[in-house]
Structure 1
Amino acid sequence: MSKFVLEVENLSASYRKNIVLEDVNFRVKQGSLTGIVGPNGAGKSTLIQTLLQLHPSLTGKVEFFNRPFNKSKQSIGYVPQRGSVDWDFPTNALDVVVMGLYGKIGWLKLPSRAHKRLAYEVLEKMDMVKYADRQISQLSGGQKQRVFLARALVQDAEFYFMDEPLVGVDAATEKAIMEILKELKTNGKTVMVVHHDLQTVEDYFDHVLFLNKTVIEHGKTSSVFTTENISRTYGGKMKWAMEEGSHVVDTR
């Protein structure tokens, strides 16, 4: 059996006639916490959506745990971008978290008291129990992100994908989310995160995947997070400087 929990070979995808991913190849080991970084339009969100069959691929092979996605999807959790969610949908925070259990409950069955207890436990972990009955439209940006992370965590998945979970959240929420992600890694879970802030990559992730339509570099952060790879990935879309070994980056 392969030691890799995700293997991607020659993956390509497009929007209409525009190629957004081309010849993407990488492998991910169990228990890693990987930041996916690259400029706007690099295909970061499309990569996750294609891996999870939410967007069609043109070519390529994807295997999770040595199996195709449709035979391993119960082991995978996903937190989408907050902007892609209909926050006006009439439901409360507890119900959103319970939705993460529908793979185990079944769509035509009602959640049991035990299921709701699990959801409450995860909300407590995210410091959101007091908002369990609040409509999601009434939550702040950081609170919404905590609820969506709780929905993923309640699945008790082996592999988590998170699409920019730290965008638009306050410092306390960012710290809480990263503590949870690092705890997942410590417990042997595998996490891949689309991330936009290069200044925190070295503190947050043990692996980094540089993406700009194709994989520019992928590996341990201590080895591949270099000014050369940053420059190769962002090209003319960034300005960067070095101050005592730290990356100070403007990716606008």
Structure 2
Amino acid sequence: MNEVVLEVKNLTAAYQKNTVLRDVNFQVEAGSLTGIVGPNGAGKSTLIKTMLALHPVLSGEVHFFGSTYKKVKKRIGYVPQRGSVDWDFPTIALDVVMMGLYGQIGWLRRPTKTHQRMAFEALDKMGMADYANRQISQLSGGQQQRVFLARALVQNADIYFMDEPLAGVDAATERAIMKILDELKAAGKTVMVVHHDLQTVADYFDHVLFLNRTVIKHGKTNDVYTEDNIATTYGGSIRLIGGRIGNVVHPVKQ
């Protein structure tokens, strides 16, 4: 067993009086690439936000590397949902990526040429070097997602959390993002991704966390990505066709 880099114990969270997560328990090993899947309203985004102290915890504990998020947050990267970002904010792509370096630069210090080079190299890795000086509002959805991924990459974190990075992007961007995620895994990084497309889970992730307000099942994809676990998570019926998901019928739970 590899080193446990994330441990969640009895985590419960709510919005006002509506409990969104209840008694969530799981451990994540170093160097794993995990897909977090579940129906709408299952608490997938809330899980990430709660672990990263962006949403209050009602009860339970979250430990990164045996410590609290506050003590190790420089080792953690986060890519939020694209829809939660104000893309009209007047800034260029290079400056957005530079924000990922503020932990190194400090908020009151100016970035050096080294910092600018690091940010540019991260953009280049995402195929966005030609857009470094473009206003983010002028970029397509897929291009914006690449910029945000570059911002996370430049942090050189040990754990990355990504909230639906593949939602609404074109096929080329999806391939580019998955290539980067595979490279992160190969480098020993740990990545957790909220993912909505059941048909690609088995191809993209070596671990799966089935979530519907609590953990339904978590483990290696080859072991837990089954018709029964999917049906239990989504509350409907599914068909596996040649090892892939066929029709998925489930109620949308809010």
TM-score range, shorter chain: over 0.9
Aligned twin of 1:89:
89
Q: Which segments of 5 or more consecutive residues in structure 1 lack a partner in the other structure?
A: none
Shift of 1:242: 2.3
Match of 1:248 among 246, 249, 253: 246
- Structure 2 counterpart of 1:29: 29
Measure the CA separation in 2 of the matches of 1:222 and 1:75. 29
CA distance in 2, matches of 1:115, 1:36: 33
- Aligned to 1:10, what secondary structure does the other structure show? strand
Give 1:15's aligned amino acid: Y
Which residue pairs with 2:129 in the alignment?
Answer: 129
Which residue in the other structure is 2:61 paired with? 61
Which residue of the partner structure matches residue 16 of structure 1? 16
CA distance in 2 between counterparts of 1:128 and 1:214 reads: 38
TM-score by length of 2: 0.96
Match of 2:163 in 1: 163
1:241, distance to aligned residue in structure 2 (A): 1.7
CA distance in 1, matches of 2:108, 2:53: 23
Shift of 1:159: 0.2
Preserved CA contact (<8 Å) 1:199 1:249: no
Inter-partner Cα distance in structure 1 for 2:49 and 2:243: 34
- Report the counterpart of residue 201 of structure 1 in structure 2: 201
Give the secondary-structure state (helix, strand or coil) at the position aligned to 1:101. Answer: helix
AA matched with 1:124: D
1:100 equivalent in structure 2: 100
Instruction: Name the structure 2 match of 1:183.
Output: 183
| Identity, % of aligned positions | 69
Once the 2 structures are TM-superposed, how far is the Cα of residue 243 of structure 1 from its aligned partner?
1.6
Runs of 5+ unmatched residues, structure 2 = none
Paired residue for 1:118?
118
TM-score scaled by structure 1? 0.97
Counterpart CA distance in 2 for 1:152 and 1:103 is 12
Q: Is 1:227 the equivalent of 2:227?
A: yes
C-alpha deviations, 1:135-185, integer Å up to 9, x for none? 000000000000000000000000000000000000000000000001000
The superposition leaves residues 55-93 of structure 1 with CA deviations (integer Å, 9 ceiling, x where unpaired) of 001000110001011001000000000000000000000
Number of aligned pairs?
Answer: 249
